[in-house]
Amino acid sequence: MSEEHARIFKTEQGHAVTLPDTVIESLNLKPGDQLVHEIINDTIVLKKVNHEDFTKEWNRFFQQGGDYSDYKTHEWGEASEREQW
């Protein structure tokens, strides 16, 4: 495997690391995907977080005491197919 470089940048929120396109593509990463990291000796290991499907996450929410009784429904009115976004 050939060695590729990542670069660290300073941002307003802290720091950002850029990854080569080959890494992004090989892991099928998309903007907003989460990675977890582990430091082993002088090596940073990044792993893609695989989320469960929505139904499992939704069910776990209720199993862990989540409550959905305080939501408010918004009345949007009739659709006119001419909404301006």
Q: Give phi and psi for 56, each to the nearest 5.
A: -65, -45
Q: Mapping DSSP to helix (H, G, I), strand (E, B) and coil, where does residue 73 land?
A: coil
Which pLDDT score is estimated for 71? 63
Q: How many Å separate Cα 63 from the centre of its chain?
A: 23
Task: Render pLDDT for 50-68 as a digit per residue (tens, 0 to 9).
Answer: 777 788 888 888 898 887 7
Q: Regarding the domain delimited by 7-63, which CATH topology (the fold level of the hierarchy) does it fall under? A: Pemi-like Protein 1; Chain: D (2.10.260)
For residues 25 and 3, which has the higher predicted lDDT (pLDDT)?
Answer: 25
Q: Does residue 28 have a pLDDT over 80?
A: yes
Mean pLDDT of the chain: 83
